[in-house]
Structure 1
Amino acid sequence: MGMTLPRFGVWAPVHGSRAAHHDPDEPDDASWARNRALVLEAEALGYDSVLVAQHTVNPYDDTRDQLETWTATAALAALTRRIELIAAIKPGLFHPAVLAKMALQIEHISEGRFALNLVNAWNATEFEAAGLPFPDHDDRYAYGREWIALVSRLMQGERVSHEGRHFRVSDLQLRPADPYRTRPRIYLGGESEPARALVADHGDVWFINGQPLDAVRRLIADASARPRHLPPLRFGLSAFVIARETDAEAEAEHARLLALAAEDAGMREASRTRVDPQVVMIRTMARARAVGTNGGTAAGLVGSYATVAERIAAFGAAGIELFMLQFQPFEAEMRRFAEQVRSLLG
């Protein structure tokens, strides 16, 4: 299709289903056993990355299970051989010196395949229930900016002294340093103005929530025009895929999942009461008729195998290099995509 083959990743099912929690074909299973098996299969199928999102409690229903991100990622680092491991991190949960040390250790275990995804948090309840501060949106980004600047320097093996608004570090250096590259890759999400500024200053990859192609083009143009001291920014996109033999079959499956997701209305309404309304992702998703998290099917990867491949190619031409994908039922649809869609892009 005249394009460089993009990278494809999967979202680990850290809190179970990604689209609908009452699907008879999809176990609402967030266990370590399932996540381990799914990531190992994704690697065997040729997927390039896995994103392990971070929540201390299930964001939809705190009586349901939730995988712990950093311990699970460390274990996956020892079990896998090729796939990139991206662990999400909310800065308010870990001091930057502690987190940088953990990141360097997983980088060593994985032999240079580790990345972190900075998320400045949207679920107030998990912080408030633990007695942790949850500042306003822009204050969280100011905190995250100081936090990631320290983490980045520490991961590079620098000897750091710093006194700022939030942190004080005195003559600190972490060893062993990263023997594989300068430091692990940093993914940044968020689409507010503070998020975009932070991406330009500290991110290696901007992780964009699923949305139509024209919106993604505008976001990429905005980010690409900003001054930057790091190498050129790269771009990833979250998307929920529904691919079938025909467009009609895919649309029928989308309708089925939308109907099932409607059964989760009470759960999702309760979840929205715990969300910071200033988060751009939440407002964007509220306007979309979509299933899946982080934009889900709003990216438009719903259709025949050829249709989905063509839309991926269009996003690739716009600058998206990594597609972080969700499916339901996850394992079966992950296999379908690898077998039926990826081959059309080669």
Structure 2
Amino acid sequence: MTGVGGNRSPRFGVWALIGGTWASHHHPDDPPIASWERNKRQILEAEALGYDTTLVAQHTLNPTDDERASLEAWTASAALAALTERIEVITAIKPYLYHPVVLAKQALQIEEISGGRFGINLVNGWFKPEVERAGISFAEHDDRYAYGREWVTVVESLLRGERTTFHGRFFDVEDYVLRPAAETRARPRIYLGGESDPARALAADVADVWFVNGQPYDDVAALLADVRARPRPAGAAPLRFGLSAFVIARETRAEAEEALAYAWELAELDRAAVARMLTQIDDRAVMFQTHARNPAIGTNGGTAAGLVGSYDEVAERVQAFHALGIETFMLQFQPFEAEMRRFAEHVIPRVRHLSAAAPTPVSA
């Protein structure tokens, strides 16, 4: 299997446990511990198990409850980059909280620490208190994307080591250059999440990889077709795709359905906390509109992607998404570490077998 830059076989990643869980806070075998020690152990084990990448989400406040802990994404990512040897570290960033020249400098430093295994995941942000309580205006949805477009334009230029001058609506940058520049490649990878029309347009224009939230196959196919039809900048490589999903895989489908039913029982215990959180979000965020159509366990679409079933069924669904053009599968589980091991032992080998025998996936 080739490295981060050229791999076209399925890539498997795990969401770092920055909030301690991506499902219920009440699972008896999965206490919501968001400590650095737990995240370090999780990602080191994921690397040892053969996972290709990890996504470190960025929340300065825990959206479920601001009294709950939340790991700081960028300092933790620098430490993970130093401790790991092979796994890619992708760190989310909400542009309103970081000036682009500061963020670009941090990203280039982690790129150096990792030896070229770093990526940024640009996200628009949807949790209002995180921004508003800091005294920053939470702009309307499309204005945030306009801000993000200028922000990533500055960042992308700086990541390339270019001497950058930019005068726009939101930023005024004059003759800025960062050293050292990236040494192993032109710049760190840029991932982008979001499914609104401004997000799709921005992905086509600036991203290397577009992350899709977990949802049924036909919906994912329509999203990919829409973005593939959008023009890319001259000379840009084809856009690649990732999918978020929550996995429940067992020996038999009946066992998986039983585990899913239990997950829904636990979800009821979190209902009040989730309801409080939903009063503080941007209701134009497409992710929550999609979740309303496809209720699911897990965040960012979770089980709506359909990775629930026997080991064979889950592997076949992964391979079907891969044939559609999904390259990177960013996964959640509960209890996380035990199910992460189960997936690595029972599902990844099945996917590799199916992938080796399958035709080349749809081109981006």
Which one of 10, 24, 46 corresponds to residue 42 of structure 1?
A: 46
1:90 to 90, 94, 109: 94
Greater length-normalized contact order (CA 8 Å, ≥ 6 residues apart): 1
For residues 81-230 of structure 1, the aligned pairs below 5 Å read 81-229=85-233, 230=236
Contact 1:5 1:345 (C-alpha < 8 Å) held by counterparts: no
Q: 2:311 is matched with which residue: 279, 302, 305?
A: 305
Deviations 1:152-171 (A, max 9, x none): 00000000111110011111
Cα distance in structure 2, aligned partners of 1:278 and 1:271: 15
The alpha-carbon deviation at position 290 of structure 1 amounts to 1.0
Residues 136-156 of structure 1 show CA distances to partners (whole Å, capped at 9, x for unaligned) of 000000000000011000000
Structure 1 residue ranges (4+ consecutive) displaced by more than 2 angstroms after TM superposition: none
Report the Cα offset of residue 95 of structure 1.
0.6
Matched residues in 2 for 1:92 and 1:155: separation? Answer: 19
User: Within the alignment, does 1:339 sit opposite 2:348 as a pair?
Assistant: no
RMSD between superposed Cα atoms in Å: 0.7
Q: Does 1:264 align with 2:270?
A: yes
Tell me which residue corresponds to 2:77.
73
Q: Distance in 2 between matches of 1:258 and 1:100?
A: 41
1:133 Cα deviation after fit: 1.7
Cα pair 1:57 1:66 within 8 Å, conserved = yes
Aligned residue in 1 for 2:362: none
Q: Report the secondary structure of 1:102's partner residue.
A: helix
Match for residue 320 of structure 2 among 301, 314, 319:
314
Q: Give the aligned partner of residue 273 of structure 1.
A: 279
- TM-superposed CA distance for 1:27, in Å, is 1.3
- CA distance in structure 2 between the aligned counterparts of 1:18 and 1:89, rounded to whole angstroms: 18
**2-structure distance, mates of 1:290, 1:210:** 9
- SS of 2:17 mapped into structure 1: coil
Q: Does 1:294 align with 2:300?
A: yes
User: Is the partner of 1:237 in helix, strand or coil?
Assistant: strand
Give structure 2 stretches of 5+ with no counterpart.
1-7, 353-364
Give the AA of the match of 1:41: E
The SS at the match of 1:171 is strand
Normalising by structure 2, what TM-score? 0.93
How many residues are paired up? 343
CA distance in 1: counterparts of 2:303 and 2:351, whole angstroms: 20
* Alpha-carbon contact 1:200-1:228 (below 8 Å) kept: yes
> Secondary structure at the residue paired with 1:191?
coil
Structure-2 separation of matches of 1:63 and 1:25: 22
SS at match of 1:61: coil
Amino acid at match of 2:244: S
Distance 1:216 1:243 in 2: 21
Letter in 2 for 1:269: A
Distance 2:9 2:127 in 1: 35
Identical residues among aligned pairs (%): 64
Gap regions ≥5 residues in structure 1 = none
Query: Aligned pair 1:254/2:264, yes or no?
Result: no
Cα displacement string for residues 59-99 of structure 1 (whole angstroms, at most 9, x for unaligned residues): 11111100000000000010000000000000000110000
Q: Secondary structure at the match of 1:267?
A: helix
State the distance in 2 between where 1:290 and 1:223 align. Answer: 25
1:274, 1:55 → 2: CA distance?
A: 14
For normalisation by structure 1, the TM-score amounts to 0.98
